[in-house]
Homo-oligomer: A and B are copies of this chain.
Amino acid sequence: MATFREISDTSPIRVACVGGGQLGRMMALEAPRLGIQMKFLDPGGVKCPAAQIVPSSSIIEGGLKDGDKIRELSKSVDVVTVEIEHVDVETLEALEKEGVNVQPSGQVLRTIQDKLVQKTHFQSHGIELPPFADTPSKDAIKQAAVTLGLPLMLKSRKGGYDGRGNAVLKTSEDADIEAALASLGCKDTSAPDLGVYAEGWIDFDCEVAVMVVRSANGSETSSYPAVNAIQQNSICRVVLAPARNVSLERREICERLAKKAIESLGAKASGVFGVELFVTNDGKVMLNEVAPRPHNTGHYTQDACVISQFENHLRGVCGMKLGSTKMVVEAAAMVNVLGAPSGTSEDTLKSSNAALAMPTAVVHWYGKQGCRAGRKMGHINLTGSSQAELDGCLSELFALEGIPVSLMPGGRLASSPLVGVIMGSQSDLPTMNAAIDMLKKFKVPYEVDIVSAHRTPDKLMSYSRGAADRGIRVIIAGAGGAAHLPGMVAAMTPLPVVGVPVKTSTLSGVDSLYSIVQMPRGVPVATVAIGNAMNAGLLAIRILSTHKAELRQEMKDYQDEMSEMVEGMSSKLLDLGSDEFLNQMDNKNKSVNV
């Protein structure tokens, strides 16, 4: 059995981190709780974001590729780790030979640092990837245009991030190749090795990210849930957790592939790895890129998971037991705060200051020196008990940050219903409307549709199978006669299904009731009274309230109101006497004005 490093006061764990930007800073904010002491090397010195969180003696000013400074940083620590992969790997490898504990190891960083080496490694370990080719020369690029087809992605092997180091090649004409290379910073296009490689064009449906975390001895590997990684101009703008519009099965495929990829890097691939994936239009999952450190797409874990990616990175590289990667909330989102077009921090802070008043938002401002248009200056996490609960704040933040809603999965926002109200025929709508009225009254987001078991069996299947992944939590289904809809839906979803037997002219709805309620063992339908869709709506609300104390309170208030209403009627009856009461009774509502 592996032994894990523990928290100790007598010999506190000392971690040195190459880089003191926002990622290092957010590690430093988690470290003290575990008795971990951190040191940082950063070119910004005491002005770097991490420097605001540690004693001044724990900051070394220097470049991330300055071997001497890395050596200085590594003195008297237990572990050396990184917050960025673009560092001096040679020195880290030399230190390892001298007995310094580098996590993840220099070898792992070396593999990841050069994207061509990274791709080649993953390909040789059976990880699905977009096709790629080494293109050291212009001729090789032309050859790749033939074998991989056009358009082609040209990528710098080293140093790229946030879309920098990527260029799209539309034709294989010399002028286009020259232009693409120029945009990648290749000045001498006849150099013996251009330092670029080519990737085949992937028509992907969406980009997904998975944070994988491993303990230093490789004995534990776990992953956070797959999330939507929504990019704008090649920069991560929004993360939705768990991923919307991606089925649970596909999310699990993403998580398995991500773990397999990181495990292929060996026992010294420790700490957190940000794994970016493509889900293609035909449903395949492919690895895009890996970052050997906490990642922008994992920031939501700070407020949405038991243990954040930053704490788990520290636990992993220190050889401690990994913490739970589970979400404590049902839904989360992260919006990056980018430097405003004006480049001023006043303008940039507008979304964060607005978020201070949002009921589901947590503001993470990085305290970076020097605001610039487009620079990552902070992020805002949202958490809620359903996707629907986040959409209001998301929509405000999109407007403030200038993010088009069209980037959202499915291209829309504020459209995440919790309850699906369906019926076998439009003739059921007058009955079913009473359920909708209740959902409106309690402000529960819903959708309404016609799904006929007998006339639209394909829609029945796709609706039932897809509902949970779309964020639906309760389905209310109404049908009359040989009322198969509720039971068939229940057979194809794990969600609770409430069945409303619609009254029929031939058998007064007893046929509907029996069809809906007499389900076989294994597949339940929650059946309400004949024609009583109002109760179906109330039942859906009671179901949603099982994990939402406020909604439970609203239901209690509603019950108290009903009591008072009946008491009002009772007083009126006592006042008027039964004869006069009958006189005044409105026969339609069976009620008297109180």
Contact = CB atoms under 8 A, between A and B. Distances in A.
Given A32-B52, A365-B33, A494 B10 contact: no
A242 interface: yes
Interface stretch (A177-185, A232-240, A518-526): A518-526
Contacts of A521: 434, 532, 534-535
Interface in A529-579: 529-530, 532, 534-536, 538-539, 542-549, 552-553, 555-556, 559, 562
Interface string A176-218: 0000000000000000000000000000000000000000000
A356 interface: yes
A8 B53 contact: no
A513 interface: yes
A528 interface: yes
Given A357-B321, A545-B494, A519 B524 contact: no
Given A474-B546, A524-B532, 18 more contacts: A7-B356, A25-B32, A29-B29, A32-B52, A51-B55, A306-B362, A315-B356, A321-B357, A324-B359, A328-B328, A330-B547, A385-B547, A468-B552, A473-B547, A495-B545, A517-B529, A518-B530, A523-B535
Indicate how many identical chains form the complex.
Answer: 2
B353 A7 contact: yes
Contacts of A95: none
Interface in A1-23: 4, 6-10, 12
Nearest to A553: B248
Given A55-B55, A524-B535, A549-B242, A364 B33 contact: yes
Interface in A308-323: 315, 320-321, 323
Given A323-B356, A345-B9, A494-B559, A539 B524 contact: yes
Contacts of A528: 517, 519, 524-527
Contact of A330 (B468, B523, B549): B549
A307 B362 contact: yes
A9 B349 contact: yes
A211 B118 CA distance: 51
A361 B7 CA distance: 15
A190 to B, nearest CB: 46
A352 interface: yes
Contacts of A496: 526, 539, 542-543, 546
A383 interface: yes
A552 B330 CA distance: 12
Interface residues of A, number: 100
Contacts of A328: 303, 328-329, 383-385
A360 B55 CA distance: 31
Rank and list the top 4 A-B pairs by shortest CB-CB distance, nearest first.
A526-B526, A9-B345, A524-B535, A494-B555
A34 interface: yes
Nearest to A370: B9
Contact of A9 (B4, B306, B371): B371
Contacts of A517: 513, 517, 527-529
A485 interface: no
B544 A546 contact: yes
A22 to B, nearest CB: 10
26 contacts: A6-B353, A7-B349, A7-B352, A9-B346, A32-B367, A33-B363, A46-B55, A55-B55, A55-B56, A242-B549, A248-B549, A248-B553, A306-B362, A328-B329, A468-B552, A491-B559, A494-B542, A494-B555, A494-B559, A495-B546, A496-B543, A496-B546, A519-B535, A522-B535, A522-B538, A525-B528
Contacts of A362: 33, 306-307
Nearest to A473: B546
Contacts of A324: 359-360
Contacts of A587: none
Contacts of A525: 528
A35 interface: yes
A57 interface: yes
Interface of A: 4, 6-10, 12, 25, 29, 32-35, 37, 46, 51-57, 242, 248, 303, 306-307, 315, 320-321, 323-324, 326-330, 345-346, 349, 352-353, 356-357, 359-365, 367, 371, 383-385, 434, 468, 473-474, 491, 494-496, 498, 513, 517-530, 532, 534-536, 538-539, 542-549, 552-553, 555-556, 559, 562
B543 A543 contact: yes
Contacts of A25: 32
B383 A306 contact: yes
A310 B383 CA distance: 19
Given A349-B9, A365-B7, A526 B498 contact: yes
A425 to B, nearest CB: 22
A51 to B, nearest CB: 7
B524 A527 contact: no
Given A10-B345, A363-B33, A519 B494 contact: no
Contacts of A4: 356
A530 to B, nearest CB: 7
Contacts of A555: 494
Nearest to A6: B353
Contacts of A494: 542, 545, 552-553, 555-556, 559
A415 to B, nearest CB: 19
Contacts of A35: 365, 367
